Structure 1
Amino acid sequence: MARHRDQAARRSALIEATYAAGLERGLRSLSLSDVAKKAGLTRGAVLYYYDDLDSLLVEAHAAGVTRFCDERDALVAAEPDPRARLGIAIRAGLPSGPDDALMRLLLELDVLAGNSVLHEELMRELNRRQCATYQGIVTAGVDEGVFSPALGAELVARTFVALEDGYGIHIVADRVTTHEEARRAMVAVAAQLGCPTA
């Protein structure tokens, strides 16, 4: 059992090293050696846990989707008011800035989705969970009488996800907008759509 825990801990550390190395090098330039160096290991030691860079990226992608969605959903679930929940979801869904390693990797991995069935499935799962989070908030707001969306809850949710993804790309690329500017813009759009935040 201890060996299994040790392997799980090492895999988790390698995923964190992948995020950090990806932030420094960018996904297109990332190598297994970059990850190994960031983790303080040899390339051979990394290969003990993963067959190649792509298998590591798939696991990092899956872990990133789960972490991003679970953490945001936990924040949202802790707030009873749908208006405050929407504000929390918007804020937590945007990268904190260009140095947000997890969000940068998730956005860059979108490029691989066209060439990999596994990455495509993970991108679909991320999109499904993003939409579910927003749709649940909008539906609750309608049920409680605090939202009166001009569009159906599903379309409003898709709109928020499109804004989140679009702004996210610009935030991590350190151009056009910042986290705070994007958050304010999404809050303004939410109000226009009949879903004011608190």
Structure 2
Amino acid sequence: MARTRTQQARREQFIDAALRAIRERGRDNVRIRDIATEAGVSPGSVLYHYPELTELMFDVHRTVADRFYRLRADTVEAAGSAESKLEAAIETGLPSGRDDEVACVLYEMHGLADRSSAHASLMTSLYDREVALYSSVLEVGRATGRFTLSQPVREIAESLVALEDGLGLHLISNNTSLEHSAAKHLLTEYARHATGCAITSS
């Protein structure tokens, strides 16, 4: 049991090191030696736990997707009213900018989905969880009489996720024509019209 815990801690160390390496060098430029340098160990130590770089990249994708979603879910759950939950979902769905490590790495890892069914499954799973999160918020708002929905719950939820994904990609890229405040305003305005509630982007 102690050995298993030690191995897991070591793997988590390498996942975090890979996250930093990807952020600095880009996903396609990262090698085992880069991850070893970030972790402060020899390449052989990384290879002992991850004989293949593809296996480590899968664990990075899984970990960063879980971290991204867990922050969203916990923040929404802690919010009080339906309006506050919707605002929390919107706020946590957009990257803060190019310095948002989790969001930037997540978008990079999603790029592997077109060449790997395993990575595609991770991307699909995150999408489904995010749609379910928005759906639960919309259901609460409708049940409490706070929201008057203009479309079916799932359609609104899917539209919100699609909007934040598209806007988020611009925020972490070199698009200087879109700032975070403007992206949040666009997303909030759609949510306001779709739910009939008085939320703001401030």
Q: Same fold by TM-score, threshold 0.5 exceeded?
A: yes
The CA RMSD over aligned residues, in Å, is 1.5
The farther-off stretch of 187-196 and 92-101 is 187-196
Q: In the TM superposition, what are the counterparts of 1:8-157 in structure 2 within 5 Å?
A: 8-157=8-157
Q: Deviation per CA, 1:140-170: give whole Å up to 9, x if none.
A: 1111111112111100000110011111111
SS at 1:115 equivalent = coil
**Alpha-carbon distance in structure 2 between the residues aligned to 1:92 and 1:191:** 17
CA contact (8 A) 1:97 1:174 kept: no
- 2:160 maps to a residue whose letter is F
**Alpha-carbon distance in structure 1 between the residues aligned to 2:135 and 2:2:** 42
CA contact (8 A) 1:22 1:101 kept: no
**Alpha-carbon distance in structure 2 between the residues aligned to 1:81 and 1:195:** 15
**Alpha-carbon distance in structure 2 between the residues aligned to 1:131 and 1:7:** 34
The farther-off stretch of 173-182 and 30-39 is 173-182
**Alpha-carbon distance in structure 2 between the residues aligned to 1:121 and 1:42:** 32
Query: Shift of residue 181 of structure 1?
Result: 2.4
Q: In the TM superposition, what are the counterparts of 1:186-197 in structure 2 within 5 Å?
A: 186-196=187-197, 197=199
CA contact (8 A) 1:61 1:109 kept: yes
- 1:185 maps to a residue whose letter is L
- 2:195 maps to a residue whose letter is G
For structure 1, list consecutive stretches of 5 or more residues without a partner in the other structure: none
Aligned length: 198
SS at 1:63 equivalent = helix
Give the equivalent residue in structure 2 for 1:158: 158
Query: Percent same amino acid among aligned pairs?
Result: 34
Q: Deviation per CA, 1:74-102: give whole Å up to 9, x if none.
A: 11111231110011011111112102222
SS at 1:190 equivalent = helix
- 1:82 maps to a residue whose letter is A
Distance 1:92 1:37, change over 3 A: same
Give the equivalent residue in structure 1 for 2:184: 183
Query: Shift of residue 2 of structure 1?
Result: 2.6
TM-score, length-scaled by structure 2: 0.92
**Alpha-carbon distance in structure 1 between the residues aligned to 2:111 and 2:196:** 32
SS at 1:113 equivalent = coil
**Alpha-carbon distance in structure 2 between the residues aligned to 1:172 and 1:45:** 33
- 1:43 maps to a residue whose letter is P
Query: Shift of residue 195 of structure 1?
Result: 4.6
Query: Shift of residue 28 of structure 1?
Result: 2.1
Query: Shift of residue 55 of structure 1?
Result: 0.5
Stretches of 4+ moved more than 3 A in 1? Answer: none
